[in-house]
Amino acid sequence: MSEAYRYIGKATPRIDGEEIVTGKAAFLNDLKFQNLLYGKVLRSPHPHALIKKIDVKKAEQVKGVKAVITHETMPDWKNGNPPIRLLDKKVRFVGDAVALIAAETERIAEEAKKLIEVEYEILPAVLDDYEAMKPGAPQIYENLPGNLLPLGIPNRKWATEIVTGDVNKGFEEADVVVEEAYAYDNIPGPGFPESPAAVALWEEPNTVTVWVSNHKIWRNKHELSVTFGNDVKVRVIGGACGGSYGSKVMSIQVQCYAAALSKATGRPVKVSLSKEEQLSTFVLRPATRLHAKVGMKKDGTVTAIAGSWVLGTGYYSMTTQVQLGVGCGEAMIAVRCKNWDVKPAIVCTNRNASGIVRGFGGQELKCALIPILSHAMEKLSLDPFEVLKKNFVKPGDGYYWRNAEWYDYRGIDYSRAMDEGAKVFGWKDKWKGWLKPTAVKGAKRIGVGVGIHGNADVGEDVSETHVRLDNDGRVVILAGLAEHGTGQRSNVVKVVAEVLQLPLERISISPGDSMVTPFEWGPAGSRGTYAILGAAIAAAEDAKNKLFRLAMPMLGADDPKDLETSDGIIWLKSDPQKRIEWEKVLRFRTVLGYGRFEEDYSLSNCMMSFVELQVDTETGKVDLLRVVNATDVGQVIDPHGLQGQLYGCLGSAGIDSAVFEETIVDPTTGCILNSNLIDYKWRTSAELPVIDNVVLETPIDTHRFHAIGVGEITTSPGPSAVLMAASNAIGQWLHEYPVTPERILKALGKIGRNIQKKEGGR
């Protein structure tokens, strides 16, 4: 399809590629500030306690210390849902902030931190989601009985459950009904290489500038404005970001710590989490427990789904309600079922907060739902590939989305991509039936599995872009985007160059700065290709139309449609010899094009992942051998960027959250036991499996290039596919993630059945 385009679908250099590989790209740690102070956070050693007394006098007397802030001196700033104070007299997890210190150096701040004396009244803690809901459980917030959070968003219509049709009738129509409980509650957060960090400069009377290391500067501006109050003028600047995978958007608290210390000192303050702090105190994926009953017919039709979905959010929530709403919609996209009755609950416990992680609600729910559906498939001896293909949303179907509105799906049928993926993987030959290995080699057994995911957030929220044509024939794009590793800014340049038919080197894009750029919700939910590029395309088309209107009298044209342009030359279509340079049209003027994207949830992307793995039944070790990802992107925009996203299906809380990535919480102390890069297990480059990507291009009704994004969903189908493959390999159902050697051997009866589970929250 890309043959008709100059740049679209072609491999082109990233605009920041040379800067990154030569070390010139300026990440937050590379920025220089005059009179910069360094902020550190004193954290609670207890999961639940009251601060009875706090003495900071010794810390304040250390030479080089410029401010110490406690809950008694912290501005009354709150955020989250419901809003909570950023420093409170009550601490609610191991690592909760107790005091903030600003000093001339990090070493001084660390030394001063040790001199703060705190007297705690230790309170009973609760770390298990089900235990937290029981009568008499320790209450984390006085105003939240049962430790249950509100499900909706204040002052907004929001999805809080999946209830439609008649489940009783649906179960009566089923050929088989199964009831199972599964959990996806190993709660790992992405291991992005650059820790959450911010620099803040508070200038009187009420102006604050915050430099952030994340990819959604306008969302940060919104959250900070809500936290600080409308009388504070907030500016947010975002530069190069060393990875995010969704989570860095949740660094609002880090930004507020820096702002509070800057407000107290009158100097810029930098707060950057250490790697240990990142792993032990930053946001994690919400924990899911699903107890559900499923009805299914012999042909794979799902007739009814009913059950309870418990989301563990830790001590705090900023996005869990949103993730719940998105998860409900994504379940309806993945499973065409007329009868639903799934009631969620969001539960607070004394562990880290939950926040944004790739997969955003749908991965959490479907990693538990697909295994339950698998039990019904097993009873009916159905092929899971065929059932998942049959039940994924088709044109003419519909679903409720996060805003509780019904959407008629107007996208394509992804079955062709799924079939091609199955062919490349060799599914027909490898699939031997439920709980049957593909091959047995002594103690080693091979198993296969398949998973699926789709997301209508490809069209979420609002994007705005300005495209400015300068009088030297060059173009400047004004977009509120910070580069977070995906090449999104390069793709914006690419589509604008395609519309204007200009060389890429004649186009620049502004830094992400809320003072300069128009509103941009930011990359999330695979929305970059449809929403962000849609706004950029519209802005470029608007700028070109305005340019043509200026050129019309110079070329004797009656309508802008009579003109065409390439390489800075405009000509009359009916008489190509009549032509004029941009510079002559734009003499002493600029042209500003405006583009806006409004939310549209009537489209979904799709990713199906096939996995093959080997289980050693003597040691319990699981080795991922091969992954095939199958998708249809409508039109490839950047082939290298797309392949990079697809290869990213493993880590960053993706497939490997089913193999070995997990956060282990001590159930007695509330401490995370593997908050270091030795005990936190992850894959090295020497352990990469074979990954094959099947990418089709069927035009999708998005913008003029008919493309749809898939980056965010590449991680999502893999975990349930791994659980299925491991179960098939050993001939026993596995109910927990990840499939560690201990769990494999326990399922095979080779270790004691009364082993106490180590993980908190289970």
What confidence tens digit (pLDDT) does each residue in 457-466 have? Answer: 999 999 999 9
Residue 1 pLDDT exceeds 80: no
**Confidence tier at 653 by pLDDT (50, 70, 90):** confident
**Confidence tier at 526 by pLDDT (50, 70, 90):** very high
Query: Do 614 and 498 fall within a single domain?
Result: no
Q: Does residue 232 belong to any structural domain of this protein?
A: yes
Which DSSP category does 128 fall into? Answer: -
Query: Do 230 and 251 fall within a single domain?
Result: yes
CATH number at residue 443: 3.30.365.10
Q: Does residue 17 belong to any structural domain of this protein?
A: no
Dihedral in degrees, nearest 10, Cα atoms 298, 303, 306, 309: 80
Residue 616: which of 730, 760, 725 has the closest Cα? 730
Range list of β-strands (E), 547-704? 563-566, 569-572, 575-581, 591-597, 607-616, 622-632, 690-696
What confidence tens digit (pLDDT) does each residue in 88-119 have? Answer: 999 999 999 999 999 999 999 999 999 999 99
Q: Does residue 248 belong to any structural domain of this protein?
A: yes
Query: Do 367 and 479 fall within a single domain?
Result: no
Residue 330 pLDDT exceeds 80: yes
Radius of gyration for the alpha carbons in the chain, expressed in angstroms and rounded: 27
DSSP 586-599: TTT--EEEEEEE--
How high does pLDDT run on average in the chain?
94
Write down the residue that tokens 């180590």 correspond to. 758
pLDDT of residue 586: 96
Query: Do 323 and 454 fall within a single domain?
Result: yes
Locate 250 and state its tokens.
Answer: 């949740």
Half-sphere exposure of 312 (CA within 13 A, CB side): 28
User: Which domain does 490 fall in, by range?
Assistant: 461-597
- CA 424 vs CA 387, 402, 418: distances in Å: 19, 35, 10
212 Cβ partners below 8 Å, 6+ apart? 28, 198, 220, 236, 237, 238, 251, 255, 482
pLDDT > 70 fraction of the chain, expressed in percent and rounded:
98
Domain boundary among 567, 597, 627: 597
What confidence tens digit (pLDDT) does each residue in 747-762 have? Answer: 999 986 444 443 333 3
**Spatial distance between the Cα atoms of 508 and 380, rounded to a whole number of angstroms:** 58
Domain boundary among 264, 281, 298: 281
**Confidence tier at 244 by pLDDT (50, 70, 90):** confident
pLDDT of residue 487: 87
pLDDT of residue 762: 33
Residue 703: which of 547, 501, 493, 495 has the closest Cα? 495
Q: Does residue 20 belong to any structural domain of this protein?
A: no
Q: Does residue 144 belong to any structural domain of this protein?
A: no
Q: Does residue 181 belong to any structural domain of this protein?
A: no
Query: Do 580 and 477 fall within a single domain?
Result: yes
pLDDT, mean of residues 659-680: 92
Query: Do 454 and 467 fall within a single domain?
Result: no
Half-sphere exposure of 430 (CA within 13 A, CB side): 22
pLDDT of residue 752: 63
Residue 226 pLDDT exceeds 60: yes
Residue 358 pLDDT exceeds 50: yes
pLDDT of residue 531: 97
Locate 578 and state its tokens.
Answer: 């009549």
CATH number at residue 244: 3.90.1170.50
Q: Which residue stretches of 212-361 are H helix?
A: 217-228, 252-265, 275-281, 320-334
Query: Do 303 and 401 fall within a single domain?
Result: yes
pLDDT of residue 751: 81
Q: How many domains does the chain have?
A: 3
Q: Indicate if the alpha-carbon torsion angle 39, 44, 49, 50 is positive or negative.
A: negative
DSSP 237-263: EE---S--TTGGGGTHHHHHHHHHHHH
Least confident span in 63-67, 79-83, 165-169: 79-83
pLDDT, mean of residues 661-689: 90
Strand partners, 453: 607
Locate 454 and state its tokens.
Answer: 């789709």
Query: Do 291 and 398 fall within a single domain?
Result: yes
For residues 27 and 300, the model is more confident at 300
Q: Does residue 106 belong to any structural domain of this protein?
A: yes
pLDDT, mean of residues 241-258: 89
pLDDT of residue 692: 97
Query: Do 589 and 609 fall within a single domain?
Result: no
Q: Does residue 19 belong to any structural domain of this protein?
A: no
Q: Which residue stretches of 339-433 are H helix?
A: 362-379, 384-391, 415-425, 427-430
pLDDT of residue 740: 96
Residue 246 pLDDT exceeds 60: yes
For residue 203, the one-letter residue type is E
What confidence tens digit (pLDDT) does each residue in 416-472 have? Answer: 999 999 999 999 999 999 999 999 999 999 999 999 999 999 999 999 999 999 999
Using the CB atoms, write b or e for 126-139: b if 16+ within 10 Å. Answer: bbbbeebbeeebbb
Locate 12 and state its tokens.
Answer: 């082109």
Query: Do 466 and 333 fall within a single domain?
Result: no
Query: Do 474 and 453 fall within a single domain?
Result: no
**Spatial distance between the Cα atoms of 538 and 350, rounded to a whole number of angstroms:** 47
**Confidence tier at 3 by pLDDT (50, 70, 90):** low
Residue 2 pLDDT exceeds 60: no
Domain boundary among 251, 281, 311: 281
Backbone angles phi, psi at 535, to 5 degrees: -65, -40
Query: Do 41 and 118 fall within a single domain?
Result: yes
**Spatial distance between the Cα atoms of 87 and 625, rounded to a whole number of angstroms:** 47
Pairing of strands 512-513, 406-408: unpaired
